Amino acid sequence: MDAALISLFDGRLVPNEPDRKYLTSVIFPNLVPLEPGRVLFVGCRSYTKPYEAFFQDSEYWTLEIDPIHAKWGSKNHKTGDVRHADSLFAPGYFDLVFLNGVLGFGVDADDDQDMTFAALHRIMRPGAILLVGWNEGRCSDPLTRPTLGAAFRHQALCGMPARKGFAASTHVYDLFRAVGGSPSRADQLCGASAGPALRG
């Protein structure tokens, strides 16, 4: 993505909080070189619409429960509930999933988290990457959910810590790999200890 487009995103379309800038300036640029074949971004708002451009070489999907926000989705979009994502997508379909700002904003109770992590695990390849962005005080810490621990490994990736917090924000990012899989190109590119099933 060229610098002018990034500037447009950061300056006008995207809230300018440090956690949001970390998503667009650190997380996306670190994950794009992995050439994820199929990407899912959950929860759509006006400021998330441009994210599709980061993943222009991938099959980029969006999922949003509220049909009114479908207009902010990508060209590959589904209206539906992430808690039942496995009824919307094929098993093992995705290489990379972003679940940012959805816990505590609709997926609130512990049971809802459990359903979500179980459903996402079913539609992710072994070794696929999951980014969970959530806010302290709005939901349980996802690391306390046994469903998450059973299906995903919490780990640093591509120079990014497994957990990233912010001094002036309640936002937290956690990085995971779906359990299973074999070493692949992503490991060569960013030195991860276990591999996702990413394209290439």
Ligand X SMILES: C[S@@+](CC[C@H](N)C(=O)[O-])C[C@H]1O[C@@H](n2cnc3c(N)ncnc32)[C@H](O)[C@@H]1O
The binding site for ligand X (CB under 6 A) comprises: 42-45, 48, 63-66, 69, 81-83, 100-102, 105-107
Residue nearest to ligand X (CB): 106
Q: Which is nearer to ligand X, 106 or 126 (CB)?
A: 106
Q: Which is nearer to ligand X, 80 or 149 (CB)?
A: 80
> CB-based burial of residue 144 (10 Å sphere; 0-12 exposed, 13-18 middle, 19+ buried)?
exposed
Structure-block tokens of residue 30: 């670190």
Q: How many Cβ atoms sit within 10 Å of the Cβ of residue 95?
A: 27
Q: How far is the CB of 59 from ligand X (least distance, A)?
A: 19
Q: Which is nearer to ligand X, 127 or 145 (CB)?
A: 145
- The secondary element (H helix, E strand) that includes residue 111 is helix 110-123
Q: How far is the CB of 82 from ligand X (least distance, A)?
A: 4
Instruction: Give CA–CA dist 113/111, Å, rounded.
Output: 5
Q: Which is nearer to ligand X, 28 or 180 (CB)?
A: 28
Structure-block tokens of residue 98: 């972003």
Residue with tokens 């929860």: 43
Q: How far is the CB of 42 from ligand X (least distance, A)?
A: 6
Q: 185 φ, ψ to 5°?
A: -55, -35
Give the chain's length.
200
Spatial CB neighbours of 115, under 8 Å, sequence gap ≥ 6: 83, 84
Q: Which is nearer to ligand X, 14 or 157 (CB)?
A: 14
